[in-house]
């Protein structure tokens, strides 16, 4: 990892951690504060409602107090129940009366319950509200929370009730307030709190993201010029390496052609001269033997046999020398084809395809399109090397039956395409495996050094190598 990248990460990561910690802390404290506010509002609201219920029950008690004093008169109970049945406040505010056995005596909003024993009645959650109310009454009265049907909506709602005993008649007198309005108020408070929390988080996330982006842009702005310069230097260095390799190839090719080939050719010439002289000598000796009989018997035959023994290995040596000359010329041509310098890129690739086709059974089709133009030596050399590598891979590894090589001259660009119908290969594996794919990496480095583009496609239908070079601004 580069030092600049390490410094960048060391500045971004602590800042991100700090901002994240601040966001988490603010979120936690905001949620805690919202909960405390909700609990405070709920407790205050319930306390005010409890005081209100006590006041209502006290008022009801005072309204029937004169009748309770005359409790011995049986008519007073009916008068008291009539008074309590008429007392109401608000849409769902009323008073109810039960005896201590659970019989309903007064219920102005649900008259169908009057006269029924509701001791065993259950709410939707399995509780017995009447039993809870009567238990509080036996203990002297108090606040009871339970579920009951709300008259205005016909829905079971949570209710806050207050009951007191009427000792003279053995009654339970009470009233209650439905708390769904409290729940609505608390829901509004929760919604506002959640909205404030979300707004705060959005602002903090925005600040954090903007800060990180600004820091990243600042680091990028500081390094972009250096990266461009470094990239240009690397490309220039890679091109120099490639040029040095080509220069070395050219030097070795010239040494082979001008040095070793000349020595081998001259050696072959001398050996061929010696062979010709021996053959002439053998012919002259044979004719002399036929014309004269002066030589002792067998002398001419022995001389001819000796000459024949010399000529046979000489011929084999000349054959081997011819093979050596062919191999040296082939290597020299591979290092630096003379056609590339003498006739240009197209003819050199065409000769290359012909040579590869002669060496194997692959059908290779070569075509050129566009008007040929002069291109820099480094570009033509790179495209020729790419052709060499791609055709070698097709010959050795693909198992292809057909290969198409297409060279296209554009107005300001030249492109090369080599496509075969072989078995292809796993391109990702080759790219990650540093022990294989050296030729593919060399092709890519050549193109990058010249500012060109190289694309390789490989699947079950074959492999295609595409190369583009810009000839307008070539060095």
- Give the pTM: 0.41
Closest CA to 79 of 93, 97, 102: 97
CA distance 340 to 384: 8
Q: Is the pLDDT of residue 371 over 70?
A: yes
| Residue 169: its H or E element | none
Cα–Cα dist 427/458, whole Å: 6
Report residue 295's pLDDT band, with 50, 70 and 90 as the boundaries: very low
pLDDT at 273: 76
Residue 209 CB neighbours (<10 A): 11
Q: Residue 431 has which token pair?
A: 């790219």
User: SS3 for 282?
Assistant: helix
Q: What is the DSSP string of 17-68?
A: HHHHHHHHHHHHHHHHHHHHHHHHHHHHHHHHHHHHHHHHHHHHHHHHHHHH
Query: In this predicted model, which residue has the larger pLDDT, 4 or 195?
Result: 195
Q: Where are the beta strands (DSSP E) in 309-376?
A: 363-369
Residue-level pLDDT at 251: 65
The pLDDT tens digits of the residues spanning 189-247 come to: 888 888 888 888 788 888 878 887 887 777 777 667 777 777 667 766 766 666 676 66
CA separation for the pair 475, 462 (Å, rounded): 35
Which of 128-137, 169-178, 315-324, 332-341 has the lowest average pLDDT?
332-341
CA dihedral 17, 18, 20, 23 (to 10 degrees): 170
């Amino acid at each position: 990892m580069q030092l600049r990248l390490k410094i960048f990460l060391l500045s971004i990561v602590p800042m991100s951690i700090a901002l994240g910690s601040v966001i988490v802390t603010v979120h936690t404290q905001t949620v805690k504060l919202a909960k405390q506010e909700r609990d405070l509002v709920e407790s205050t609201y319930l306390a005010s409602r409890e005081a209100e219920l006590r006041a209502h029950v006290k008022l009801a008690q005072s309204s029937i107090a004169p009748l309770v004093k005359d409790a011995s008169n049986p008519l007073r109970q009916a008068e008291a129940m009539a008074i309590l049945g008429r007392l109401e406040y608000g849409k769902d505010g009323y008073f109810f009366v039960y005896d201590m056995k659970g019989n309903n005596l007064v219920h102005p909003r649900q008259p169908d319950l009057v006269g029924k024993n509701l001791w065993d009645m259950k709410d939707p959650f399995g509780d017995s509200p009447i039993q809870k109310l009567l238990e509080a009454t036996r203990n002297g009265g108090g606040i009871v929370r339970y579920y009951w049907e709300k008259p205005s909506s016909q829905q079971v709602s949570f209710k806050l009730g207050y009951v007191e005993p009427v000792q003279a008649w053995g009654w339970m007198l009470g009233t209650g307030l439905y708390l769904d309005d409290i729940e609505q108020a608390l829901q509004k408070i929760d919604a506002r709190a959640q909205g404030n929390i979300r707004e705060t988080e959005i602002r903090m996330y925005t600040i954090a993201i903007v800060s990180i982006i600004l820091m990243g842009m600042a680091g990028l702005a500081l390094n972009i010029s250096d990266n461009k310069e470094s990239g240009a230097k690397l490309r220039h260095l890679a091109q120099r390496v490639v040029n040095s390799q080509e220069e070395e190839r050219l030097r070795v090719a010239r040494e082979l052609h001008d040095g070793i080939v000349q020595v081998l050719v001259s050696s072959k010439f001398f050996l061929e001269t010696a062979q010709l002289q021996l053959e002439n000598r053998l012919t002259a000796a044979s004719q002399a033997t036929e014309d004269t009989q002066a030589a002792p018997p067998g002398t001419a035959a022995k001389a001819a046999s000796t000459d024949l023994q010399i000529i046979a290995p000489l011929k084999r040596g000349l054959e081997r020398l011819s093979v050596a000359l062919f191999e040296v010329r082939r290597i020299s041509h591979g290092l630096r084809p003379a056609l590339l310098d003498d006739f240009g890129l197209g003819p050199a690739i065409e000769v290359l395809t012909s040579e590869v086709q002669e060496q194997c059974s692959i059908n290779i089709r070569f075509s050129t399109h566009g008007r040929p133009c002069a291109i820099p030596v480094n570009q033509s050399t790179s495209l020729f090397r790419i052709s060499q590598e791609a055709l070698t891979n097709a010959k050795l590894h693909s198992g292809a039956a057909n290969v198409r090589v297409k060279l296209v001259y554009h107005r300001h660009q030249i492109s090369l395409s080599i496509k075969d119908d072989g078995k292809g290969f796993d391109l990702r594996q080759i790219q990650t495996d540093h022990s294989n794919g050296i030729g593919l990496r060399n092709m890519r480095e050549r193109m990058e050094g010249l500012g060109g583009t190289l694309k390789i496609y490989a699947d079950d239908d074959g492999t295609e190598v595409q190369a583009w070079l810009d000839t307008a601004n070539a060095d």
